[in-house]
Structure formats: C-alpha cells, structure tokens
C-alpha cells in the first residue's frame, strides 16, 4: 500500500503592513524575502508551484495576469502550477487549500502561496469604490452595503438585541488584539496598546462601532511554503506542522440570500467548521490556539460561537472572561489579528497560517503553552463565504 503524502506548512514571512509607498510587486518581493529568511535552506529552484492571491491587483496596481508577473519578480520557474486566486479576504487560505490538494495528489512537491494587496491610492475614495465591487453590483452595492462598517454594524445591533451583547464586550476584543499586536513590528499599528477607556471613548464610525471596533485596510503581503512531508524534512529541521483539514462554505452573494434566521446567526461558518473538524478528525474542544477573522469586534464574538468555542449568544461573555488571552482557555489572534496587524485582503489568510505554524513549532512571539491543534478562519466580503483551515503537530491517521 502506498504511503499517504501529507501536506505541511514549513514557514513563511510577511511584509510590513500599513500605508505603504510601494507597488504591489514590491510587497510580494518583501514577503518572499522574509519567507526565504525564515527557511534559510530554501532555494528558488526548490519551488515547483506558485499560487498568488490578490483581489485589487488589477484595479489598483495594473497587474493583470498577476501570477507570471510575481513569478518573474521572485525568480521562480514553476512547473506544476502558476495561478492567481481571488476569494477576497480568504485569498491566501484558499491558496493553501489548493496547495494541500496538489501536494497530497502528487502533482506538486513545494508550493509558494503568497498574497498581497496595494489598497491605498492617491485618491482615497477609490478604495471604497473598489470595495463596492465585492457584492452583487446590481443589488447590495447600489445600496452602499459593499462598504463593510454599515453592514457589520447591522449585524452587531442584531446580536446586541437578541443576545444582550454590549459595547463593553466588543471593546474587550479590541483591547486583547491590540495588546497582542503591540509586540508585532510587522503590524499596521505596532507598537500601540489599547485600554478599555480608549476603546469605549473612541469616535463613532457606524453605530455601535467606534474606531477601534474596525480593522484597518492595509497594504501588505504574506508568503508561506506548503510542501510534502518528505520535502519539508529537507528544507527545515523544525517540527512538522500538518494541514489536517479544511472547509469552505459559500451560500449567497447578496444580503437577500442570507442563510440564517437573522444576521446574528452565521450557519455558513458553522458548516465550514463542521467540514473542517470532520476532515481534521478533531472537534472544537481540541483547538488550542486560533486565528479568526476579526474585521470587526462583533465578528470575533460571533465566530467563537459558530466555531463551537462557546454556546450561541455567549461570545461576548467568553471573550470578556479572558478566554482568548495568552493564559486563557483558547488564545486567539496572538499576533494582533486584523484589528491590529491590519488587513490586506489576499494576504491575511497566509499571515494567520504563518502565526499558527510558529505557534505549533514553539517559536511565536506570544507563545501559547504546548499547542497541538490550531485553527485559522476567514470570512469573505459581506460575510458571504467562510474558510477554515486546521493545523496540527501530528497528521491525520
């Protein structure tokens, strides 16, 4: 019987996130250099596949047919795959899912998954105008729902009305993630810390959200190496981190197709998690550390509920209890998350997965004690799609 080929994440790197005076190709190169520094024995000729993840590359950077452009700039000559993926916020975690399938099917052996966005333009209105293209342009975007703060503010108000969630509980999310991010020099807001008073007194963005309830849009890039177990052993002597299971669920493209009874219920996330848990042969209680998509503070509250970390409606209490802190039951967003690290759409997933790789290898800055199983989650667009990737120090049997 042929031995199963397991896909692992070897390591990676990120650029500095923030408002950058750089072209998107410069950001890809910066992340790739950080990836090369992280895996010192890695050579361009080791990499047979390239998956590039970006949403705004064509509109904001005139970089259509992006994958070959990136391959040339990085000195790569991929022979198994060279493609671009666009699933917005889940771009590079979607790329990791594709890379896992290619590695485990034997089509590829070493794949670079890299994501980047150049969000900021000389005319700042262009960024929000581009975001309107995320939704069905004939329906929600015409009503302004393609710009996230108002849409997620509606979600927050519904959750507050139905479950009693408070602004104080949402502030706990921001404080925890900013204080994690204060140790992350690659983050958008490094080295800023945050107090509850600062979070609660911040200027209003979209009721009930204050400034610190909302993640920034960022320029930035990330890159990770996904390889077969056999090849990974020749690239690094660090502990192997296996991609145990994945799930991705998309249900609609406009608010009229929302799958839940109310906006406060996210059954599409619950389903994506169920699929990933089944494939990884674990359950929610097995997750030791997680990266969830905290585009807004209410998002993290709902995500810990739908991922099964606490009961539905108790997400606010769960986070306020300190469960997500470094010494808590389940540390979450230990590098600052989207709220502090920033959010260059296509780059966020690989950034999350790199942090989990470091956690499971015991080399993270905010290191969790002896984690064995880790989970990364992204939502995309106006909560239309959910992506879950689960990692572990041991492969699925």
Region 323-344: mean pLDDT is 98
The tokens for 341 are 């690290």
Tell me the per-residue pLDDT of 2-14, one tens digit each, with 9 for 90 and over: 567 999 999 999 9
At residue 115, the pLDDT reads: 98
At residue 23, the pLDDT reads: 96
Region 172-184: mean pLDDT is 98
- The set of residues, in sequence order, having a beta carbon less than 8 Å from that of 105 and lying 6+ positions away, is 5
**pLDDT band at 1, cuts 50/70/90?**
very low
Q: Which CATH number fits domain 7-123+219-235: 3.40.50.2300, 2.40.50.140, 3.40.47.10, 3.40.190.10?
A: 3.40.47.10
Please count the other Cβ atoms lying within 10 Å of the Cβ belonging to residue 269.
Answer: 28
At residue 252, the pLDDT reads: 86
- β-pair partners for 373: 392
Please count the other Cβ atoms lying within 10 Å of the Cβ belonging to residue 26.
Answer: 18
At residue 138, the pLDDT reads: 79
Dihedrals phi, psi of 339, to nearest 5 degrees = -60, -40
Tell me the per-residue pLDDT of 145-174, one tens digit each, with 9 for 90 and over: 767 898 899 999 999 999 999 999 999 999
pTM value > 0.85: yes
Region 214-222: mean pLDDT is 97
**pLDDT band at 121, cuts 50/70/90?**
confident
C-alpha radius of gyration, the chain, whole number: 19
C-alpha 294/C-alpha 287 separation (Å) is: 18
C-alpha 292/C-alpha 280 separation (Å) is: 18
Return the percentage of the chain with pLDDT > 70, whole number. 98
The three-state secondary structure class of 100 is helix
Region 196-222: mean pLDDT is 97
Q: Per DSSP, which regions of 49-174 are E strands?
A: 49-53, 81-85, 110-117
Residue with tokens 């089944």: 278
Q: Is the pLDDT of residue 288 over 80?
A: yes
Q: Is the pLDDT of residue 320 over 90?
A: yes
Tell me the per-residue pLDDT of 15-24, one tens digit each, with 9 for 90 and over: 999 999 999 9
Tell me the per-residue pLDDT of 37-90, one tens digit each, with 9 for 90 and over: 999 999 999 999 999 999 999 888 888 899 999 999 999 999 999 999 999 999
Q: What is the total residue count of the chain?
A: 397
- When the pLDDT of each residue in the chain is averaged and rounded to a whole number, the result is 95
Superfamily of domain 147-215+244-392: Thiolase/Chalcone synthase (3.40.47.10)
Residues of the chain with CATH 3.40.47.10: 7-123+219-235, 147-215+244-392
Region 370-380: mean pLDDT is 97
Q: Is the pLDDT of residue 396 over 80?
A: yes
C-alpha 78/C-alpha 121 separation (Å) is: 31
Higher pLDDT, 253 or 115: 115
DSSP annotation string for 302-360: HHHHHTTSS-TT-HHHHHHTTTTSTTSSS-B-TT-HHHHH-B-HHHHHHHHHHHHHHHH
At residue 155, the pLDDT reads: 96
The tokens for 211 are 């400034």
């Amino acid at each position: 019987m042929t031995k199963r080929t397991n896909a692992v994440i070897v390591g990676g790197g990120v650029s500095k996130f923030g408002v950058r005076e750089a072209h998107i190709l410069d950001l890809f190169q910066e992340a790739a250099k950080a990836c090369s520094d992280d895996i010192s024995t890695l050579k361009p000729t080791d990499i047979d596949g390239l998956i590039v993840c970006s949403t705004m590359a064509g509109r904001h950077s005139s970089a259509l047919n992006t994958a070959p452009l990136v391959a040339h700039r990085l000195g790569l000559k991929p022979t198994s795959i060279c493609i671009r993926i666009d699933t917005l916020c889940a771009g590079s975690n979607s790329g990791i899912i594709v890379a896992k399938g290619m590695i485990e099917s034997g089509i590829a052996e070493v794949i670079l998954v890299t994501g980047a966005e150049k969000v900021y333009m000389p005319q700042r209105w262009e960024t929000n105008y581009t975001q309107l293209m995320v939704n069905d342009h004939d329906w929600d975007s015409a009503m302004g729902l393609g710009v996230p703060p108002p849409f997620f503010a509606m979600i927050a108000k519904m959750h507050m009305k139905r479950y009693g969630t408070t602004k104080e509980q949402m502030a706990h999310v921001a404080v925890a993630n900013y204080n994690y991010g204060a140790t992350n020099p690659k983050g958008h807001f490094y080295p800023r810390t945050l107090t509850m008073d600062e979070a609660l007194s911040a200027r209003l963005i979209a009721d009930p959200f204050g400034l610190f309830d909302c993640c920034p849009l960022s320029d930035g890039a990330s890159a990770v190496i996904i390889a077969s177990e056999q090849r990974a052993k020749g690239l690094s002597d660090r502990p192997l981190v296996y991609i145990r299971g994945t799930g991705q669920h998309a249900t609609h493209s406009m608010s009229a197709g929302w799958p839940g009874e109310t906006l406060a219920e996210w059954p599409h996330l619950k389903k994506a998690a169920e699929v990933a848990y089944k494939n990884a042969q674990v359950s929610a209680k097995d997750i030791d550390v997680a990266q969830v998509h905290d585009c807004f503070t209410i998002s993290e509250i709902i995500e810990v509920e739908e991922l099964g970390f606490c009961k539905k409606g108790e997400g606010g209490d769960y986070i306020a209890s300190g469960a997500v802190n470094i010494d808590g039951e389940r540390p979450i967003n230990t590098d600052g998350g989207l709220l502090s690290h920033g959010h260059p759409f296509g780059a966020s997933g690989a950034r999350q997965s790199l942090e989990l790789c470091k956690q499971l290898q015991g080399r993270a800055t905010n290191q969790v004690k002896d984690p064995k199983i880790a989970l990364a989650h992204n939502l995309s667009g106006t909560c239309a799609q959910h992506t879950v990737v689960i990692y572990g120090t041991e492969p699925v049997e």
